[in-house]
Amino acid sequence: MKTHPHTGPVVPVGVYVAVFAALLILTAMTTAAAFHDLGPMNNVVALGIAALKATLVVLFFMHVRYGTRLIPLVVAAGLFWLVILIALSLTDYLTRGWLGVPGR
């Protein structure tokens, strides 16, 4: 891979085409999974495919893969913060039935 002194790495067009094709295939897989009854695994499959698509977009189209060492650290910190927020939200959601509120 070549690097340009002012703009950074020059990614070949073939990489973008391959990532685009992978995103199209994953979108077709998401659509196909929506039409099949997998029971409780529907959400797991859909979220797994969505996470893979998001990873491809972040790594290649947002240039995290080719950035300096600070860029992946910032992305990891953002994901860690997201996990904290989800965990705190789940603690509220999962403990709502503990009080025995009438009408629930």
Q: Please report the pLDDT score of residue 6 as a whole number.
A: 66
Q: Please report the pLDDT score of residue 104 as a whole number.
A: 57
- Residue 1 near residue 34 (C-beta atoms within 8 A): no
The tokens of 4 are what?
């340009």
- Residue 25 near residue 31 (C-beta atoms within 8 A): no
18-64 tens-digit pLDDT: 999 999 999 999 999 999 999 989 999 999 999 999 999 999 999 89
User: Helices 41-56 and 13-34: crossing angle, nearest 10°?
Assistant: 170
| Beta strands at 2-4 and 8-10: parallel, antiparallel or unpaired | antiparallel
Whole-number average pLDDT of the chain: 89
Q: Please report the pLDDT score of residue 87 as a whole number.
A: 93
Instruction: Give the single-character DSSP code of 3.
Output: E
Q: Round to whole Å and give the CA distance between 97 and 92.
A: 10
